[in-house]
Amino acid sequence: MDEHKLKTGTTTVGMVCKNGVVMATEHRATMGHLIAHKTTQKLFKIDDNLGLTVAGLVGDAQTLYRYLCAEVDLYTLKRRNHMSVKAAATLMANILSGRRYAPYWVALIVGGVDPSGSYVYSLDAAGGSIPDKYVTTGSGSPFVYGVMEDHYKESITVDQGADLAIRAISAAMKRDSASGDGTDVTQITSSGYNLLSSEEVKKRRAKMKLD
């Protein structure tokens, strides 16, 4: 199977919290009406202060993840400091816009923290980069926006944000056939990148009676 033809129908979300950022995705990858994979990674650690979510063609998404990781690693080695969230988003936007006649078929979220604050950026295939308080991508995004519009507050903590992300992704998985098979959630704060275990996600789902 050609991974460049494999599409992640996808639901992803990123949100700014008062003490960091929360990012989350589900696991399903589809090819037409076929559920091709049930354990697809769509949430990536870029650095201790940066995360990336991907929606779109698997091959393009994996290539872009490798590009961004390499550039961030080089920056850290040269500057002995973490790249800012805005710089990482701008770098990725430049990579995307540089392939205008054969675009990367992706929608990305770059999020994280730096000394100036907490941020999430939505990036499109043409290289657009827009910061927001919360953003969602993929086929399940309308359902996520419904949950976020109702429950998100700027005073939310990363602990509360993790619950909200799980609730939002769960809503999408119930209604979007291209989204499903589990949830990845990370909390990014000044203390680092904390990927919740599958057991922790299950406990939070059970506490919110989502199962």
At 89-100, the pLDDT tens digits run 999 999 999 887
d(CA 55, CA 25): 9
Return the pLDDT at 3. Answer: 45
Active-site residues: which are they?
10
Please tell me the predicted confidence (pLDDT) of residue 45: 97
Domain extents in the chain? 7-207
Q: What is the pLDDT of residue 7?
A: 54
What gap in Å lies between CA 116 and CA 37, rounded to an integer? Answer: 39
Q: Torsions phi, psi of 12, nearest 5?
A: -130, 155
pLDDT in tens, 46-89: 999 999 999 988 889 999 999 999 999 999 999 989 999 999 99
Record the pTM. Answer: 0.91
The dihedral region occupied by 56, where left means phi > 0, alpha psi between -120 and 50, and beta the remainder, is left
Please tell me whether residue 182 adopts helix, strand or coil conformation: coil
Q: Which residue has the higher pLDDT, 180 or 167?
A: 167
CB atoms within 10 A of CB 199: 8
How does pLDDT run across 136-175, given as a tens digit for each residue? 998 888 999 999 999 999 999 999 999 999 999 988 887 7
Alpha carbons 19 and 21: distance in angstroms, whole number: 7
pLDDT in tens, 1-56: 344 455 556 889 999 999 999 999 987 777 777 776 777 889 999 999 999 999 98
The topology (CATH level 3) of 7-207 is Glutamine Phosphoribosylpyrophosphate, subunit 1, domain 1 (3.60.20)
